């Protein structure tokens, strides 16, 4: 897993990542799960399916698995949301260990 690369969606306007808030109460505190994808095309598919009107405002960023824990800590995320199926979407929520 440490040699794996994941793909994140990041705003080109303000640099913030696309996050999920599975619990509406956490939305107010800013905590959330940064969405990550196993493939670049999955990230693009998710964006085009669920945000086609704003797709041009986002870029796909690659991150190695070894960088994920630091990214979560630096941005104050609760954990990761690994998108299993970008079309439905089906997301597996994980906390860093």
* pLDDT the model gives residue 27: 57
C-beta of residue 32 within 8 angstroms of C-beta of residue 91: no
Q: How many residues would you count in the chain?
A: 97
Least confident range of 9-18, 27-36, 67-76: 27-36
Q: Is the pLDDT assigned to residue 83 strictly greater than 60? A: yes
Q: Which range marks the domain in which residue 49 is found?
A: 5-94
Least confident range of 12-26, 44-58, 77-91: 12-26
Burial of 2 (0-12, 13-18, 19+ CB in 10 A): exposed
Q: What domain count does the chain have?
A: 1
Compute the C-alpha angle 44/57/26, nearest 5°: 85
Average pLDDT over residues 28-35: 78
Q: Is the pLDDT assigned to residue 1 strictly greater than 60? A: no
């Amino acid at each position: 897993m440490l040699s794996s690369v994941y793909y994140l969606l990041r705003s080109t306007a303000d640099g913030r990542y696309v996050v999920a808030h599975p619990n509406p109460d956490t939305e107010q505190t800013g905590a959330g799960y940064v969405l990550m994808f196993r493939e670049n095309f999955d990230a693009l598919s998710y964006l085009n399916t669920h945000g086609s009107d704003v797709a041009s405002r986002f870029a796909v960023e690659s991150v190695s698995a070894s960088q994920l824990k630091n990214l979560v800590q630096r941005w104050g995320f609760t954990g990761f949301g690994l998108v299993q199926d970008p079309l439905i979407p089906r997301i597996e929520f994980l906390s860093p260990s």
